[in-house]
Amino acid sequence: MSDIEVKKIIEPTPASDGAGVKLKRSIGVEPNYFDPFLMLDEFGSENSEDYIAGFPPHPHRGIETVTYMLAGDFEHKDSTGGEGRMTAGDVQWMKTGSGIIHSEMPAMKEGKLHGFQLWINMPAKLKMSKPNYIYIDADQMKSYKDGEKIVKVIAGKYENVEGPVKKHNVEPVYFDVELNVDKEFNFELPSTHNSFIYLIEGEIKIGNHQHQKVENSKLIILEKGDKLKVYGSTNAKFLLIAGKPIGEQIARGGPFVMNTKQEILQAVEDYHKGTFVK
């Protein structure tokens, strides 16, 4: 087995999306693409002006979006007739496939909103499949707990706790980890996977080699390997996310991610002609 070390530490870039929601983007800027992951945003503020305009109706094709709420409420509506309300701890795993138009709007006028959205690429054979969702309420989520840590499992398996997202083509791992000071989180990752840690708060040390100080809202790209060790220099909270690379050509056009430029042009044409939603 080989120990997993830090490959790169990235400071998220301030950005805005939707109708002006302020966020921190760490994948989708540098690196622009980390197969199979296309984008990672952290959105969060106690100032309602930073989020109140939300994400009005917009299209997607060829990707999966994974929205994970830590605080606040969001209302979701889409072109399939689906709608719902996300609250703290909930996950919405949306496979956009051939095309969907949806909106995500805050269901609150004040207070703290905090969460993440991850974009995962879809392989060519699935890009034009029928859109579908996995809705995971907070009370459906299982966690592993001991005196050193709490590991909330969204996808993958930690010890005897398995996440609700199963039989997925990239075999994802998605953990929310709370680690106590001076304690360790250890996990065996598939050596085939690309993986990263997003540190939400606190300070951590990864692997056995020296690396620069890592604290609060940082993306840590990990080297490939099997054995991950994370030490809590303070009480810390982080996401561990990993997935099997798809290894296909990428063509991107705003909210559309396909394999060729022609497919992107087709998506744009479909959207403007009103034939986007099948």
Length of the chain counted residue by residue: 278
Name 257's bridge partners: 252
Residue 19 has pLDDT above 70, yes or no: no
Distance in angstroms (rounded) separating the CA atoms of residues 62 and 198 = 24
How high is the pLDDT of residue 250?
A: 95
Q: How many C-beta atoms surround the C-beta of residue 239 within 10 A?
A: 21
Going by pLDDT thresholds of 50, 70 and 90, the confidence category of residue 111 is confident
pLDDT digits (tens, 9 = 90+) for 185-224: 999 999 999 999 999 999 999 999 989 888 889 999 999 9
pTM of the model: 0.94
- Provide the edge-to-edge strand list for the sheet that holds 100-106: 55-60, 100-106, 74-78, 83-86
Q: Which of 247, 230, 241, 235 is nearest to 187 (CA)?
A: 230
pLDDT digits (tens, 9 = 90+) for 134-171: 889 998 899 999 999 999 999 999 999 999 998 899 99
**Whether 215 contacts 206, CB under 8 Å:** no
Name which residue leads in pLDDT, 103 or 53.
103
> What is 132-179 written as a DSSP string?
EEEEE-GGG-EEEE-SSEEEEEEESEETTEE-SB-S-TT--EEEEEEE
Residue 31 has pLDDT above 70, yes or no: no
Tell me how many domains the chain contains.
1
Residue 170's domain spans which residues?
6-273
Q: Is 1 domain-assigned?
A: no
Q: Is 278 domain-assigned?
A: no
Q: Is 188 domain-assigned?
A: yes
Give the CATH number of the domain where residue 238 resides.
Answer: 2.60.120.10
Residue 108 has pLDDT above 80, yes or no: no
Chain centroid offset of residue 4 CA: 21
Q: Which of 60, 68, 70, 125 is nearest to 95 (CA)?
A: 60
Q: Is 134 domain-assigned?
A: yes
How high is the pLDDT of residue 261?
A: 96
Return mean pLDDT, the chain.
Answer: 91
Q: Is 254 domain-assigned?
A: yes
